Amino acid sequence: MLPTRYVVLGGLLALVSIGAFWILQPRAILVEVAPVVEQRFTAVIEEDGRTRLRNRFVVSAPLAGRVPRSTLRAGDLVKVGQTLATITPNIAPLLDPRARQELEERLGAAQAALDEAIALRERAKVLLERARIDLQRTT
């Protein structure tokens, strides 16, 4: 017969191997179950994204403002003269006395530049007339 020592050691080895098998065995996973029904599949995805442009066109305007989102989609037909976007002006800030004075000074400078341009035009008219008279006299 085998000594008891081997029997105890064999029993411990059997318990360890049974325990390892039990620990390493995969556990059951809870799942939802539903009956299979044939229907139309509808999925809605609402996410923000980035546009990748191949051809970039710069559209500039001589004034500041806001442009709302375009109602046109890629591939829409555009007719000649059709309005593509409307620029709405920015909300004007309240003028403090310093800003008001600065704007009035700029207005005065613009008026002075206009007066100077009118005077230069009159001077050019006089010089043109004098040149015509000199040409007639020379001929």
Does some domain include residue 90? no
Mean pLDDT of each 10-residue bin along the chain, 139 residues long: 81 93 88 88 81 74 80 84 85 80 93 96 96 93
Q: Count the domains in the chain.
A: 1
Q: What is the structure's pLDDT at 124?
A: 96
Reduced DSSP (H G I as helix, E B as strand, rest coil) percent helix, strand, coil of the chain, to 5: 45, 5, 50
- Give the pLDDT of residue 12: 93
In a domain, 139, yes or no: yes
The reply to whether 47 falls in a domain is no
* Domain housing 129: 112-139
Interatomic CA distance for residues 87 and 71, integer angstroms = 14
* pTM for this prediction: 0.33
User: Is 74 within the bounds of a domain?
Assistant: no
**Residue 73, token pair as written in the block:** 């989609």
d(CA 24, CA 97): 81
In a domain, 13, yes or no: no
Q: How far is CA 73 from the centre of its chain?
A: 16
Amino acid 65: pLDDT: 82
Residue 64 is assigned to a structural domain of this protein:
no
